[in-house]
Structure 1
């Protein structure tokens, strides 16, 4: 049995798709790791060229264009601005990480689709209906339950004699509820 074609797949899946997808995932991880390494080295180089100590008191942030207000310093607010270069690198790294994550999800979904397409068909044993063991106490249980429900509905919703001597009558439950509304169900002493 051949795998059905999907509009999203322009080629038939191959048996080695797992190996290929694993290699693609490893390649994507390597690219992300190498890019993070280069970004870290570039940031370290900039910090060393500027004379800042990455592990000291200086954090690479710049001085604000206007001095902070004395009230802000007294309340403990920050007195330095964030470096625009650091924010730009963080944003770029985040964008790259999101793009790589989306690409990996698409690759994995393609692999899962190929797994479903290559799944073996059911065997003859799996396709045979399961017969209940003997003895069969009910030949047609669905028909039996439908007949029971019809009988119960007739008893609840229609007039009929409750005994063979016709001394007591059965009335519909709706009418019985209407007759008993507002009346005490206790006997009069």
Structure 2
């Protein structure tokens, strides 16, 4: 089996895990999301390490899934590398939470594909803990800011005042609990909006 795509994914996972472990900025709003991403990838990585060492049948679907996860992992790493303490907490959550969902979903797809490949393979006994890995990845849950934001926006489009519960959850999850925090966030959002407008003008 050509394991190049799997080895590439393993390397990308290791780089992201190292980056997150070295992160010392405790106020990083996406830190919790990234810790969960790392938890998911740490569950998957030992499985990938074993795949490289066993004669697993070649499969184009597996290669494609590994490439897709590798892309998501690298996007997550690049996002964290480019993150600034002055970045909008809300926009950071809107960008990082979908990455968590993609990485969790892709990891489960890889597990399912491996399970299918190993059903009739002599190396099946060598990949211990596959089912347990899948179960643990499925159990990973995260209280998403985006979910509360979607509910609040949905209410607003219906000319209904968003529930105080949703707004409180958003502010608490993003640590926007003081007037100063809200002011900083407002400035950060405005700066990002202006940057987007400038980019659009330059693009035209």
Same fold (TM over 0.5): no
Higher relative helix content: 2
**The structure with more radius of gyration:** 1
